[in-house]
Amino acid sequence: MRLSTVILPIHRWVEGQKIWRQAEELGFHAAYTYDHLSWRSFRDEPWFGSVPTLTAAACATERMRLGTLVTSPNFRHPVTLAKELITLDDVSGGRLTLGIGAGGLGFDATAMGQEAWSPKERADRFGEFLPLLDKLLRQDATTETGTYYSAVEARNIPGCVQTPRVPFYVAATGPRGLRLAAEYGQGWVTYGDPKGPADVPVEQAPAVIAQQIGKLTAACEATGRDVATLEKVLLQGSTAEKPLESLDAFVDWAGTYRELGITELVVHWPVPDSIFANDLAVFERIATEGLAQLG
């Protein structure tokens, strides 16, 4: 099992770079950031772009993997995103992971003047977006016409540092998304129950994840893939569980999900006076000692 963190893109870089370097010093496997134009309770507070932030983080770190958690079609297009990804993969020396999902109904959904898409349209769009992005990152030139997304002689030379392309960690809980994860993903991401994660009682939260892994396994079997070949990533912070309250709480939490098959846990870097307010000293102990105590 690996331990990673999410660092929100809320800090001016003179301060932000210190956090990204500290994350590497603490030994986190990866540091991700959210790919939103703004987000929930942070909407009227500082919020910077994910790709420039990750590019700067790539220059400020040396070993830790970097990525989005997650990018979506809400305000992205595969052609322009592919160009940014091959650049970021190059700058980072092949340390990029793309967390990607279908998107939702947050502020990103209407910020460019469009009507919010229905769940079906989000799924339809993602079903075009991901395969096209896969081709764009694998090929020097791509031409394809779709209902929502097209590419005409789109060039991506020299391509990704990582071969055949940067890894995709696909966030999905529904049947169509899970099939895409099975077909295109090197990893799968969940944060709990998509219908109301904060309302799921603590004692029921592991069962939700277990059921999702069961559906992922079935999706893999349907495509002839071994589910063990996918990383299984759990993003903390969307359930009533409180694994960052103490080292013991984290160890219990991590052990529960390791038994279910989760291979990477992602915890939020503490943000004072926010929903992610946690004691930094406890957080640092969790980072350096937590997984070791699992045995």
What would the pLDDT profile of 101-145 be if each residue is shown by its tens digit? 999 988 899 999 999 999 999 999 999 999 999 999 999 999 999
| pTM for this prediction | 0.96
Q: Which residues contact 204 (CB under 8 A, 6 or more apart)?
A: none
137's tokens: 């990152």
d(CA 98, CA 239): 23
263-282: buried (b, 16+ CB within 10 Å) or exposed (e) per residue?
bbbbbbbbbeeeebebeeeb
pLDDT of the chain, 295 residues: tens digit per residue:
999 999 999 999 999 999 999 999 999 999 999 999 999 999 999 999 999 999 999 999 999 999 999 999 999 999 999 999 999 999 999 999 999 999 998 889 999 999 999 999 999 999 999 999 999 999 999 999 999 999 999 999 999 999 999 999 999 999 999 999 999 999 999 998 776 656 678 899 999 999 999 999 999 999 999 999 999 999 998 888 999 999 999 999 999 999 999 999 999 999 999 999 999 999 999 999 999 999 7
Q: How many domains does the chain have?
A: 1
CATH code of the domain covering residue 200 = 3.20.20.30
- In this predicted model, what pLDDT tens digit does every residue of 171-203 receive, in sequence order? 999 999 999 999 999 999 999 877 665 667 889
68's tokens: 């989005």
Which structural domain range is residue 59 located in? 2-293
Phi-psi category of residue 159: left, alpha or beta, with phi > 0 → left and psi -120 to 50 → alpha: left
CA separation, residue 63 to residues 23, 24, 98 (Å): 11, 7, 17
CB of 99 closer than 8 Å to CB of 123 = no
Coil, helix or strand at residue 187: strand
Which DSSP symbol is given to 124? Answer: H
